[in-house]
Every structure is written in C-alpha cells, then in structure tokens.
Chain A
Amino acid sequence: MLNSLLGALESGLLYALMALGVYITFRILDFPDLTVDGSFTTGGAIAAVMITGGSSPWIATIAAFLGGLAAGAITGLIHTKGRINGLLSGILMMIALYSINMRIMGKPNVGLLGETTLFSSVSPLVFMPIVVIAIKLLLDLFFRTELGLALRATGDNKRMIRSFGANTDYTIILGLSLSNGLVALSGALIAQQSGFADISSGIGMIVIGLASVIIGEAIFGARTVFWATLAAVLGSIVYRVVVALALRIDWLEQTDLKVITAVIVIIALVLPTVQRNMKQKSTARRRAAEIAQTPGQKSVGGGF
C-alpha cells in the first residue's frame, strides 16, 4: 500500500509538469489544446533517441523541452495565422506529430534500459520535487511580468489587451509554445523514469492533464495564479493516488484507466456548476424572503 502511494507520488510529480502545461492553455489562454497528446510523446521520443545515441541526459531533456516549444508554436501559428479553430488546430498538430514522432524514434518503442538517464544517480522522489517547485515558482513569476500579464489578459479579454497594444497572436503562440514545452519535458522525464519511449504514450494525455487541473482547483482552489499552479501540481498527485486506489479494486483492469479518467473529469466539471446553481438559488430565496419582510422599503442598490 505504502509502496503504491509512493509510486503515485512519484508519477504525480513527473506528470505535474504536463498538468502545468495544460493549465497554461486550458485556464490561462482559455484554449483547449489537443497538441498535448502528440507533444508528450515527442518529448519522450527526443529524449530516448538522444540518450541511446550517447547524448548527456541533461542535453536530451532540454532538447525535448525545445521540441515541445516548437510543436506548440506551430499549433499557435496554424490557429492565429491560418485562422483555424483552436480545437481543430490542436487535433491537426496532434495527428501530424504522430508521424513526426515515428520519424524521430524510427520504431514504435525505444528502450532505455542500461542507459544513463537523469534518474540513474538520483531518485525521482528526490529530484522531482525540486524541479517541479522551481518551475512552478518561475511560472508564477513569469505571469506577473508585463509579458505574463498580457498573456493572461489574452485569455481573459482579448479585445481589451489589444486596445492596449498587445499582439494577441503573439501571446497565443507564446502560451501554446510554453505549454507544450512543459508537456514535452514531462514526456522526456517519464520516458527516463519508465525506461522506454513509446509512440502511444501520449494518448489521452490531455484528459489526464485536465483531470489534474480540475481536481486540484476543486480541492485547493485557484484564487490567484500562485494557488492555481499549486493546485495543478497537487491535482496531478491526487489524480495518481486516486488511480492507484482504483486499480486496487479487483475487477478493474489497467485498460479501464481511461474511462475512469474521463468519469473523474466529467464529475469534476459538473460538480462546481451544480454547487454554484444551488448556492445561487438559496441566496436568491433568502434575499427574496428578507426583502419581503421589510415592508414599505424599496430595493436598495449598492453603493457606487
């Protein structure tokens, strides 16, 4: 039991970078980006091929990050310059990346057993908390810079930030790029931890990312960027714990994971809406009763 929890913590941290990437597109940019399913594999593919080719695992990991940046930038270009719907841009890039990933790897699976990886000398449980916290804090800082504010405003009110001189095409490309860079980085780390890169490793990754972001928000809240990024990281860990617990149920198979994930996302998306509606109704009922009980008084508006 403890072992499986530690395992869940470890993968939660490894996938947390992917969740942060999904947070950037899904929450900050308000852009459902399906590139993720492809760019996650791209990260693993680049890292695995470079490591087996004799590169330092550090350089291979950084190259994977750069590969993700490029993939995201292309999705951004397709969407902004080609004026193709965001969802479709991501799907097109995801499909294109399947072929590209195959070209990079040359075969559907590249093994890393016996190779020197980032985790050869240090356990992920020691290494990952440092990396994840550092990246989370860097992101928080970035979102407070002038450029970061413009990026956030792009997802919040495009018309407004354009009227203050920001090129929203550029901020969208930047956000998608950064997001997919993190996703690919996560893919590279997962490949090194699990000992292989696989062409199908990214399938359903966007849903897992969404699950992490939404679970995190539901449990830890997202009042500020600081809390929202923290929630994405913790959400990723909670998701892995939930999955680990679910897999202990006898009649569930490993392949049931994706349907479990989909159900978690649906519940996490529906619950807040239902809660809000119920709260609104009860508030309205209470206010109506209050107003009815104060005779002769007209409704009073708030201050200016």
Chain B
Amino acid sequence: MLKLTEVSKLFHPGTPDEKIALIDVNLHLRPGDFVTVIGSNGAGKSTLMNMISGVIKPDAGEVRLGGVDIGHLPEHRRSKWIGRVFQDPMAGTAPHMTIEENLAMAFSRGKQRGFALGVNAKRRGMFQEQLRRLGIGLENRLRAKVGTLSGGERQALSLLMATFTEPQVLLLDEHTAALDPARAELVTRLTQEIVSELKLTTLMVTHNMEQAIRLGNRLIMMDGGRIILDVDDTKKRDLTMERLLGEFERISGHKLSDDRVMLGS
C-alpha cells in the first residue's frame, strides 16, 4: 500500500541550524493498517505526515503508494488518494463557507473541478446522510457558516470531509489534541467507527499514550527522525504503558520528553 523507503529530510542543510527531520525512514503500511505514531517533540512525526501528504519532498528515498512513486508529486495531486485531518480545528475547513459548501469541496477530492454546481439536491441529501452519522445535529445546519461551529464540531466535520470519499490513506495529525477531553473522546470514537467501517489505511499521530495503545492494530515510535520501534498486531494486544515507556528508554537511551505527552485521558 503505502511504502516509504530510506526516506531522509534535512531542514536548513549546511547551516548552523541544520536539523535532521527524518533519517533513513522505512515504513510499509498494508491495506487496512491502522497505525498509531508516538514520539518526543521533534521526533519527526509531523514531518512524516507532511512527507506522505506532499507538503515537503524527500531529500533522499522513495515514497510509493500502490506501487506508484509519488515522492515528487505536489500536495494537490496526491490528495486524490490521501485524506488528512490537522491538529488545528481551523485548518481543515473553510470558515466563511457553509457546511454544505465545505462538504462539496471535499466531495470533489481528486476530480477535475468544473462548472457543475457544487451543491445540488441530490448531493445535499447525501451530505445530510453523512452528517447524521456524526450524531451532533450538523445535518440540520447545512447552510451555517463553518466559522460559527465549535472546535469539536469543526473537527468532527473535518474528519467526515477527509474520509467520506474513502481515500487510500488517512493521515490524522494529533487531530484531537486541541480539544477538551469530552470532545476529544467523541472525535476519537468517530475516528474508530469511520476507520473500521470504511477499512481505511490510517496513520495517526497522537500525544495520548493510552490512545496510542488502545487504537489501531500497530504502533510505531519515533525519535530523532527515526522509527525506533514498530509494534505489530500480536504484540500490541498485550502492550502496557509501562512496557512502552521502558522500551522507549531502553532503545533511545533517554526518557520520553514531551511536555504534552499524556499518559492517560
């Protein structure tokens, strides 16, 4: 499915600020994999997401999706296959446009955009149907501007927009980190439901260790731009927080340092 081979990325190369963002990263997602990603600040988690979505290009190595080398395609061309939810609830939606207009734009993912109406009666019915699955009443507010929604509502909408066209890969970049616990839990539950229903191949960065262990069938841990631990399905089932932290210290030689890491929820 998604395959990264020996991917490296440096920021500010050759200057005193040189920073290793990713170094020799190998990652292979199989169809239907739901992988959680944890790691310290600056471990390269966000760079990994940006690398896959095409915001940044690899300095070395290959990014392949379904056998096609996509490493040098610009972001807007990759988005045909890749859905993404950002950490910032403001980032995934257009605030001055209505809910139905936002959904229409998501619905056009990867298609040639022409002079057909973005929202017509048929699509409106379909959008309503989709919104109903979120269970937060957005289906009755199709013409509300997205900027008037709360952070949790916007993030739930972003999640729906990123997934309802069934992309080949779903990237979740700490998409619950900016929400309060109750709303974060709701968005997490929706994520689980949608991912398992559509069998989406998913990569989810999280600061919440408990969540990283509870969700998905695979867990990877990053440090200093490398993937230092890859826990597969069978081992992940009896993974505990203590063992994970212990494992991290043993491999990396230092404690998991992230002021935002949460041990539970």
Q: A: which residues have CB within 8 A of B?
A: 142, 144-150, 152-153, 156-157, 159-168, 301-302, 304
Contact = CB atoms under 8 A, between A and B. Distances in A.
21 contacts: A144-B117, A146-B104, A146-B115, A147-B114, A149-B101, A149-B108, A149-B118, A150-B108, A152-B96, A152-B101, A157-B90, A162-B79, A163-B79, A163-B92, A165-B80, A165-B111, A166-B76, A167-B74, A302-B150, A304-B182, A304-B186
Interface residues of B, number: 43
A147 B105 contact: no
Contacts of B80: 165
Given A145-B116, A166-B105, A304-B152, 7 more contacts: A145-B114, A149-B101, A157-B93, A160-B93, A162-B75, A164-B109, A301-B180
A153 B114 contact: no
A161 B115 contact: no
Contacts of B116: 145-146
B108 A164 contact: yes
B94 interface: yes
Interface of B: 53, 74-77, 79-80, 83-84, 86, 90-97, 101, 104-106, 108-111, 113-119, 136, 150, 152-153, 161-162, 180, 182-183, 186
Contacts of B152: 304
A30 to B, nearest CB: 10
A270 to B, nearest CB: 22
Given A144-B119, A302-B150, A156 B79 contact: no
A146 B106 CA distance: 10
A139 B106 CA distance: 22
A65 to B, nearest CB: 18
Contacts of B117: 144-146
A167 B76 contact: yes
Contacts of A165: 76-77, 79-80, 108-111
A147 B94 contact: no
Nearest to A142: B115
Contacts of A157: 90-91, 93-95
B118 A163 contact: no
What are the 5 tightest A-B residue pairs by CB atom distance, in nearest-first order? A156-B94, A165-B79, A146-B113, A149-B118, A153-B94
Given A145-B115, A149-B101, A304-B150, A164 B106 contact: yes
Contacts of B183: 304
A161 B104 CA distance: 11
Contacts of A160: 91-94
Nearest to B98: A224
B38 to A, nearest CB: 23
Contacts of B162: 163
A162 B86 CA distance: 13
A168 B94 CA distance: 14
Contacts of A164: 79, 105-106, 108-109, 161
A292 B200 CA distance: 49
Given A160-B93, A304-B152, A145 B79 contact: no
B118 A145 contact: yes
A304 B118 CA distance: 28
A101 to B, nearest CB: 32
Most chain A C-beta atoms within 10 Å of own C-beta, residue among B86, B101, B150, B162: B101
Contacts of A152: 94, 96-97, 101
A163 B75 contact: yes
B105 A150 contact: yes
Contacts of A148: 118
Contacts of B75: 162-163
A26 to B, nearest CB: 14
A166 B110 CA distance: 8
Nearest to B80: A165
A160 B91 CA distance: 6
B95 A304 contact: no
A10 B106 CA distance: 43
A142 B117 CA distance: 8
Nearest to A165: B79
A139 to B, nearest CB: 13
A132 to B, nearest CB: 22
A145 B118 CA distance: 5
Given A146-B113, A146-B116, A147-B113, A153 B79 contact: no
Contacts of B153: 304
Contacts of A150: 105, 108, 113
Nearest to B88: A159
A149 B109 CA distance: 12
Nearest to B93: A160
B145 to A, nearest CB: 9
Nearest to A151: B113
B114 A149 contact: no
B77 to A, nearest CB: 7
Contacts of A167: 74, 76
